[in-house]
Structure 1
Amino acid sequence: MATSASWPARLAAPLRRAGHWAAGLLLPLALFALWQYAVDRQWLAEQILPPPSLVWQSLGELWHSGELRDHLAISLTRVGWSVLLGGGAGLALGAALGLSRSARAYLLPSFELVAQFPVVGWVPLLIVFLGIDEALKVAAISLAVLVPVTVNTHRGIAGIPRPLLDVGRVYRFTVPQTLWRVVLPAAAPSLFNGLRQGVMQAWLTLVFVELLASSEGIGYLMVWGRQLLQLDLVVVAMLAIGAVGLALDLALRWAESRLASWRRGAF
């Protein structure tokens, strides 16, 4: 009886997840149906509103030719380097602000001022110093990553309860042991939240920078399609941007769940 009674409980969670996924698909399916209906009714010319069949065909051609994969690889490489540089700098700066009163006194006011400027506002100045080559793209995206990672790292470390730090002193932890056994596990949720925000900001900023000044990448594919008046290419690029952004977020959520189990083990 206990085994049979447990089956509904085991099925409840997967069914709820499936229901959430199904509910989330309602709006995209409705938009797709409206898109197809508008094409069938010829509300707009095909050059302005390409039919779904043409978009699907272009997607297949770009994928099989390797062109779409090449553009995505270039864009993801830029994001990877920028997350590494901006995230590393953000972790270091946020840790300094969270652990050192002197750092907060000297650096925090200036950082809070600089953080108010959007990345778009930095681009003209970056162009003057770096030109429009690869350095511009990596620098702009790194700035987009730096701010959320720094803010969340600072808040996570500054918010660690004092009694928790006292435990490390009681056990006579060294500085590396305190960082690994106390600071990192306690601040991990905030650190990972900053990383997720940084990666998402990096992906959005990448598209903007590639739209502005690039000869390769997924943003450039959109510009190229617009210049050729082939809006099916623009839609393909938009779909690719959305799919990759969703995949990155899902991967980070999975990593966050794995981090939660490590955090429990650390404590």
Structure 2
Amino acid sequence: MSQQIALKPSTHSSVLIDESQPTSFWQFFKHSRVLYWLVGSIFPIILLWLWHVSVEKNWVNPLLLPAPDLVWTALKDLYSSGELWSNLKVSLSRIAYGFSAGISLALLLGLSMGLSKTVEAYLWPIFKVINLVPVVGWIPLLILLVGIDEALKIILIAKSALVPMTINVFKGVRNIPQSLTEVADVYQLGTWSKFKNLVLPGAFISFIGGLRLSLASAWGALVAVELLASSEGIGYLMVYGRQIFQLDVVLATVIVIGLVGFAFDVVISLIQKRFSAWNTQQ
């Protein structure tokens, strides 16, 4: 009799464990990144299917919209010939130089205007004018000043990265809580100590937040300037495909541009999450 009573709870508990497993699995699946990526892949899959069907059913002219398999073949040919990597390497080197120069100058401008209202009064109007002129609008003037070589591309990339980063750093310095400033005054911290322990952490968090937008702007500016004034690079490869009327090459380069931009965004997003967690712990 006692043995039967002892067995009943164990049997009942096993049933409870089995019933809880589907719920726990669904909770894990719901809160994991798998569901996020699955939902995000629905629209690209539908778009790819509509692309395939529209070409197969002759809803559009195949000369204007090549089939997906032709674009994939063109992408493999560009890769196997080395033409894709050689042009992409040029573009990546340009983005590295221009983006580095842009964010370095943005740090200087953002900190200067954030710390001094006098500097802000002098520089902010000029900065706003530069910001309101699009990248393409600077190309004719810069061609006259620096020519059509690498300096043109790097300056325009740097300008595109400069604007959002400067605004982020400027706001980060100005948005330092007043309570922290008052604590620093109570402890009579020196100028360098305030800058190191108060201004730099606030500016750095804003700097990390501005990386994503700055890099996206710089990448878009690079493609634009290579489309208009370049003899090499991923943007030029797209123009070359259009000139010889190989739209499969054009679409292949569009895919590469999108994938590289997406990779940039993912990397910056991971960096932001890491430093956001660090800031929360601090």
Same fold per superposition (TM over 0.5): yes
Deviations 1:217-251, CA, capped at 9 Å, x for gaps? 11011001111111111011000010011100010
How far apart are the structure 2 equivalents of 1:13 and 1:207?
40
Q: Specify whether residues 9 and 153 from structure 1 end up closer, same or farther in structure 2 by C-alpha distance, changes over 3 A only.
A: farther
Secondary structure of 2:206's counterpart equals: helix
Q: Specify whether residues 85 and 9 from structure 1 end up closer, same or farther in structure 2 by C-alpha distance, changes over 3 A only.
A: farther
Deviations 1:60-119, CA, capped at 9 Å, x for gaps? 121222221121111111111111111110111011000112211221222223222111
Tell me which residue corresponds to 2:201: 185
Aligned positions of 1:59-70 closer than 5 A: 59-70=75-86
- 2:237 equivalent to 1:205: no
Deviation at 1:170, TM superposition (A): 4.1
Q: Specify whether residues 98 and 9 from structure 1 end up closer, same or farther in structure 2 by C-alpha distance, changes over 3 A only.
A: farther
Deviation at 1:44, TM superposition (A): 3.3
Aligned positions of 1:17-166 closer than 5 A: 17-166=33-182
- 2:237 equivalent to 1:221: yes
Code of the residue aligned with 2:30 in structure 1: it is L
Is there any run of 5+ residues in structure 2 with no aligned partner, and where? 1-12
Q: Specify whether residues 45 and 209 from structure 1 end up closer, same or farther in structure 2 by C-alpha distance, changes over 3 A only.
A: same
- 2:15 equivalent to 1:12: no
Identity of aligned residues (%): 41
Whether contact under 8 Å (2:111, 2:203) holds in the other structure is no
- 2:210 equivalent to 1:194: yes
Code of the residue aligned with 1:195 in structure 2: it is L
Q: Specify whether residues 261 and 7 from structure 1 end up closer, same or farther in structure 2 by C-alpha distance, changes over 3 A only.
A: farther
Larger mean CA deviation between 167-176 and 91-100 belongs to 167-176
Whether contact under 8 Å (1:185, 1:263) holds in the other structure is no
Mark the structure with the bigger radius of gyration: 2
Length, aligned pairs only = 264
Secondary structure of 2:60's counterpart equals: coil
Q: Specify whether residues 20 and 98 from structure 1 end up closer, same or farther in structure 2 by C-alpha distance, changes over 3 A only.
A: same
How far apart are the structure 2 equivalents of 1:172 and 1:8?
57
Output the TM-score relative to the length of structure 2: 0.86
Is there any run of 5+ residues in structure 1 with no aligned partner, and where? none
Deviations 1:129-167, CA, capped at 9 Å, x for gaps? 011111111111111111111111111111111211233
Output the TM-score relative to the length of structure 1: 0.90
Deviations 1:38-71, CA, capped at 9 Å, x for gaps? 1111233432211111111111121222221121
How far apart are the structure 1 equivalents of 2:221 and 2:54?
32
Whether contact under 8 Å (2:161, 2:214) holds in the other structure is yes
Deviation at 1:8, TM superposition (A): 5.2
